[in-house]
Structure 1
Amino acid sequence: MSRRQTTRVLARAISACALAGFLGATPAAPAGAARPKENQPMKSTPRPVVGETLRTSLLPVLSSPLVAFRIQFRSGSINDPPGKEGLNGLTAMTIGQGGTKELTYREVTDRLYPMAATIGAQADREVTTFIGNVHRDHLKPYYDLLSGILLRPRFDESDFKRSRDDLIAEIETNLRGNDDESLGKAALNLMMYDRHPYKQLDTGSVQGLRSITLDDVRAHYRKYYTRGNVVLAVSGGYPDALIESMKKDFASLPAGAPPLLKLPKPRPLQGTEVLFIEKAAPATAISIGCPIDVTRSDRDFYALMVANSYLGEHRTFNGRLMNKLRGERGLNYGDYSYIENFIQDGGSTFPLPNTPRRQQFFSIWIRPVAHSNALFALRQAVRELRLLVDAGLSPQDFEASRKFVLNYSRLWTQNLSRRLGYQMDSQFYGSGFLIDRIQEELPRLKVEEVNAAVKRHLQAANLAVAIVTQNAAGMRDALLSGKPTPITYQTPTTEDALLKEDKEIESFPLPVNRERMRIVKAQDLFEK
């Protein structure tokens, strides 16, 4: 998935203007208040109570001509009321693609356009983040627009209807119609979090969106867009006066914060639970996963990072899944694994910041494979997971994977906005800055610790499997029969070792839970 579906980045910018306001002389810091060291993470202020200062997350880089904003509210799809699934995402989009009390949406975009600046809304399960970037020459007029959108949203009926129609089309046309891989991932999430607040899409459901009114959006804004529920995050070459102005302006939000929603434990999976999503599809997309009780705040997370890189590092040939399924057998374009919710950031190969969760899951993504080879690919992926759990990493594989993660993770924060996003996520988890934590934890890890963490948190016996395919009944029957599901090569191989392993894979046992196996039509998913 390239980016959160509810993210709408409006690329715009502003003509040259006189330096004023924020870009005057930088005032001296108040007595006893030290400006954070340049280009170093700064911890956020504590969660406030009424009367306390707003929380901030600052990353000053005085040499940078750019300023990045991430204004985050502790409101996500978990806060959608029953029957109005999508309210959080629709509220974010109506604001992010709307006007201010003084300006229409068109007037806002006309003023942003000459700036080459951006404003976007990113709604997720637990947080909603408004993201902006601007050259500091245009900081004052840009901030006036950004703060106006967030503090004085227009809530125009036409903006609301356009945003609602866009989200409905995202589900009906894009997700269910054109994006089988994302549909499989969304269905996997539905299985793992049955009767859980994480269950629904961030975009909601079709009927839920249609039931939402503009008054619902206004009410959601009043409840969740409050002083105690916001983090003001800024990075780049900004003056101190900007932060003081932001604190003063955002103090106009209502005081306090709604109680944080308590999350139940996910339902335990029983055997291999399979959901077939039937639709006209040129190939079969498969997603496999299970909830795990570990996040970035836990030391075991960093051990699992090494093991996961060995198994299925995203969009690289480092992982066994990629080498075994694609490299040796040419089954598909790619096969990867993850130890937390993963969304690719645009055209990069890096994780999208600001999608944190208090509960996480392990998953395997099998990109579309020929229908005839789908069950073979499923067996092989689960078998590779079983081998990892049972045998662990060798000392050589451990050293290679650890070295890769230590170096590769440094690339995740190549620009100020991403670095700021990771800093905010680290504060969400209370874990210290992620990249620094990786550099701290991995060098002292031992292979025995990694393998022990794998055994504690990963397993291949109880998994949810979402399969998007066009002949669901036939594939279901083949799986239930227990018969071998051999691979069909387009060009026959003569490698004896590969053919021998194929025989083991095609008969690899899957403990299928017959009672929980289902077939649904794609058009029925996320309808209600």
Structure 2
Amino acid sequence: MKNMSMKKIAAYILPVALAAASCAQQPQASQQTDTQTTTTTANTANTAAPYDASQAFGPGKVVELKQPESNKVIIKLMFKNGSMTDPEGKEGLTFTTAEMITESGTQDMTVSQIKDKIFPWAAEYGVNVDKEVTTFTFAVHQDFLNEFYPIVRGLLLNPAFAEEDFKRVKSNQQNFVDEVIRASSDEEYSKKALEDLLFRGTNYQHVVEGTSASVPNITLEDVKNHWRNYFTQNNVLIGIAGNYSDAFLNQLKSDVAQLPDVRPNIPVAGEPNTPNGVQVEIIRKDDALGSAIFTGRPMPVTRSADDFAALMVANSYLGEHRKSYGKLYDKIRTTRSMNYGDYSYIEWYDQGGSYQLPNPGVPRTANYHALWIRPVQIAEGLQQQYAELSDINVGHAHFALRLAMREVDNLMQNGMTQEDFELTRKFLRSYMKLYIQTTEKQLGFLMDSRFYGRQDYIEEMDRLLANLTVEDVNNAVKKYWGTDNLYITIVTDDSEAEPLQQALLNNTPSPMSYSNLVREGLPQEVLAEDEAIANYNLNITDVRIVDSKDTFK
């Protein structure tokens, strides 16, 4: 089994390296500057001391990525605010405000008129709101920059904030928090529910769109005030990339300096709660087809710390996002055909169900180690499919959880081998270069770098990876990971919720439920491992069932 896993990762290395080499041949940055010429310094010691991200924002703060050979210009404005600045009772206000800037036109043009005008230019713009930042992105061919820029300026400095647009934006937002988040994807549901549990009682708890109770409280006047107080010249980082002139950059800086001159009261980011043992929240949902699982454990390390590089190697080895060589994927999907994939994360991964590679624009100071176990079958479904499983009470969730925790435990106890380490590191050093295949992604990651006190996260992590040892990785895993204290959220069918709750609370043995045909084809070593997994002890201290209609309160 081990040799098979190593063959898988080795098979990834050559095509990834070739793709990364192709990216390296694209036009590279000639400047990555802060116009105030201040130098930000990352945490070069192997500690988890946080960097004050606010230092990256304010008047004159600019990240440049000049590419004279490019035919595009990318403008990004990152504001240090995010959903953590939402007032209590009006959660979702930052999201509403950002949407109103991009979806309500300017004082001179409606949003429909803007879209019609920029369509022939293939220009585009949008916004992304996360917990601590809001990022606007504008992209246009250089030939149309002079025509496009007045629209950019109008959206930022003179947004229309029209009543009819407000009603539309708010209606869509209400529909999301009422229906979409619970109905569109149980995997995304369990992921957001994990953050709700992990950060409960803090300004990180609510999803950026708000809650069913809070969105109705948001008024258009709230939006206007939030724009004046939290989208200011004092908490913005300008990013610009592509083929632009110095004169244009000066114009952009001059216009951004016309944003409100208010010093926003940015709160401290909420810290994750400390779990007491393994605490589980089961979300009971009608007609769920499986059990969608996310686990999370507080971890005081972000990209600011050099230890992050060591954890990147361990994380990739355990379960690189959407890659089949990871230990979790190999044990749960490949060997046992339990689901579509299983992965590990050492930072927030935005829209993981849609993207193979991480997106920039979601930097955070509060962090945790997470596992994503994609939906596994429930007892009711297995009973209907296989007559030989008619007497089971619980589906595959309990076994899958035990297997995943046991793999983390094994990594903590035994560490990576030198061979595992070398192959995984080699893969990562090429794979990270694929994060920045486009100019927009390059600029985004450079701006994120400043949030963490770095100049160029991709380059700096590559240097750190080059100097890592297997001992560094194994020590970091022991220091920052764990299986005894964590949070787990499971979205599952109403028929599965109570039997699963009792099985978890009682640490009931959970033998793997195979069909006869599958069992007959498994090697003895897998069946022997199954026995050990079925009896692996989880430090369960609390299991609560919550009806789906009662989540995100």
On whether the aligned pair clears a TM of 0.5, the verdict is: yes
> 5+ residue gaps in structure 2?
1-26, 39-52, 379-394
Aligned to 1:76: 82
Letter in 1 for 2:367: Q
Shift of 1:346: 8.4
Counterpart selection for 1:479 from 498, 501, 504 = 504
> Is the partner of 1:207 in helix, strand or coil?
coil
Letter in 1 for 2:370: S
Shift of 1:117: 1.3
Distance 1:480 1:39 in 2: 58
RMSD over aligned Cα atoms: 1.8
Letter in 2 for 1:518: R
Distance 1:398 1:48 in 2: 36
Shift of 1:173: 2.4
Instruction: Please list, as runs of the form range in 1=range in 2, the aligned pairs for 1:350-365 lying within 5 A after superposition.
Output: 350-365=357-372
Instruction: Please list, as runs of the form range in 1=range in 2, the aligned pairs for 1:285-434 lying within 5 A after superposition.
Output: 285-344=292-351, 347-371=354-378, 372-434=395-457
Letter in 2 for 1:409: M
Shift of 1:512: 0.7
Distance 2:428 2:548 in 1: 37
Question: Which deviates more, 190-199 or 360-369?
Answer: 190-199
Shift of 1:431: 2.2
Letter in 1 for 2:318: L
Counterpart selection for 1:67 from 73, 92, 96 = 73
Task: Decide whether aligned partners of structure 1 residues 345 and 388 sit closer, same or farther in structure 2, where only a CA change above 3 A counts.
Answer: closer
Q: Does 1:510 align with 2:538?
A: yes
Aligned to 1:223: 229
Instruction: Please list, as runs of the form range in 1=range in 2, the aligned pairs for 1:218-297 lying within 5 A after superposition.
Output: 218-280=224-286, 281-297=288-304
Task: Decide whether aligned partners of structure 1 residues 366 and 39 sit closer, same or farther in structure 2, where only a CA change above 3 A counts.
Answer: farther
Shift of 1:276: 0.4
Distance 1:364 1:354 in 2: 22
CA contact (8 A) 2:123 2:140 kept: yes
Task: Decide whether aligned partners of structure 1 residues 406 and 48 sit closer, same or farther in structure 2, where only a CA change above 3 A counts.
Answer: closer
Q: Does 1:520 align with 2:546?
A: yes
CA contact (8 A) 1:286 1:367 kept: yes
Aligned to 2:187: 181
Counterpart selection for 1:454 from 467, 472, 477 = 477
Shift of 1:151: 0.9
Shift of 1:40: 4.8
CA contact (8 A) 1:338 1:364 kept: yes
Shift of 1:256: 4.1
Deviations 1:199-244 (A, max 9, x none): 1101111111111000000010010111111111111111222111
CA contact (8 A) 2:34 2:61 kept: no
Task: Decide whether aligned partners of structure 1 residues 39 and 411 sit closer, same or farther in structure 2, where only a CA change above 3 A counts.
Answer: farther
Letter in 1 for 2:416: L
When normalised by structure 1's length, the TM-score is 0.89
Distance 1:48 1:288 in 2: 30
Distance 1:384 1:103 in 2: 57
Distance 1:386 1:343 in 2: 26
CA contact (8 A) 2:132 2:269 kept: no
> Is the partner of 2:70 in helix, strand or coil?
coil
> Is the partner of 2:487 in helix, strand or coil?
strand
Shift of 1:39: 4.3
> Is the partner of 1:368 in helix, strand or coil?
strand
Task: Decide whether aligned partners of structure 1 residues 149 and 418 sit closer, same or farther in structure 2, where only a CA change above 3 A counts.
Answer: same
Q: Does 1:437 align with 2:428?
A: no
Shift of 1:192: 1.1
Q: Does 1:100 align with 2:106?
A: yes
CA contact (8 A) 1:40 1:59 kept: yes
Distance 1:184 1:155 in 2: 34
Aligned to 2:527: 499
Q: Does 1:193 align with 2:218?
A: no
CA contact (8 A) 2:229 2:262 kept: no
Task: Decide whether aligned partners of structure 1 residues 287 and 347 sit closer, same or farther in structure 2, where only a CA change above 3 A counts.
Answer: closer
Distance 1:475 1:519 in 2: 10
Task: Decide whether aligned partners of structure 1 residues 58 and 259 sit closer, same or farther in structure 2, where only a CA change above 3 A counts.
Answer: same
Task: Decide whether aligned partners of structure 1 residues 252 and 40 sit closer, same or farther in structure 2, where only a CA change above 3 A counts.
Answer: closer
Q: Does 1:41 align with 2:32?
A: yes
Q: How many residues align?
A: 488
Letter in 1 for 2:313: V
Aligned to 1:85: 91
Task: Decide whether aligned partners of structure 1 residues 53 and 261 sit closer, same or farther in structure 2, where only a CA change above 3 A counts.
Answer: closer
Shift of 1:481: 2.5
Distance 2:31 2:260 in 1: 31
Aligned to 1:7: none
Letter in 1 for 2:474: N
When normalised by structure 2's length, the TM-score is 0.85
Distance 1:324 1:345 in 2: 21
> Is the partner of 1:58 in helix, strand or coil?
strand
Letter in 2 for 1:167: Q
Deviations 1:182-210 (A, max 9, x none): 11001111111122211110111111111
> 5+ residue gaps in structure 1?
1-35
Shift of 1:41: 3.1
Task: Decide whether aligned partners of structure 1 residues 180 and 256 sit closer, same or farther in structure 2, where only a CA change above 3 A counts.
Answer: same
> Is the partner of 1:112 in helix, strand or coil?
helix
Distance 2:538 2:182 in 1: 28
Aligned to 1:3: none
Deviations 1:16-35 (A, max 9, x none): xxxxxxxxxxxxxxxxxxxx
Distance 1:447 1:218 in 2: 53
Distance 1:469 1:346 in 2: 18
Deviations 1:272-295 (A, max 9, x none): 100001102011100001110001
> Is the partner of 1:356 in helix, strand or coil?
coil
Distance 2:187 2:353 in 1: 16
Letter in 2 for 1:219: N
Deviations 1:132-191 (A, max 9, x none): 211111111211111211110000011111111111222222211121111100111111
Question: Which deviates more, 264-273 or 280-289?
Answer: 264-273
Deviations 1:384-438 (A, max 9, x none): 1111111111111111111111010010000000000000000000023111012
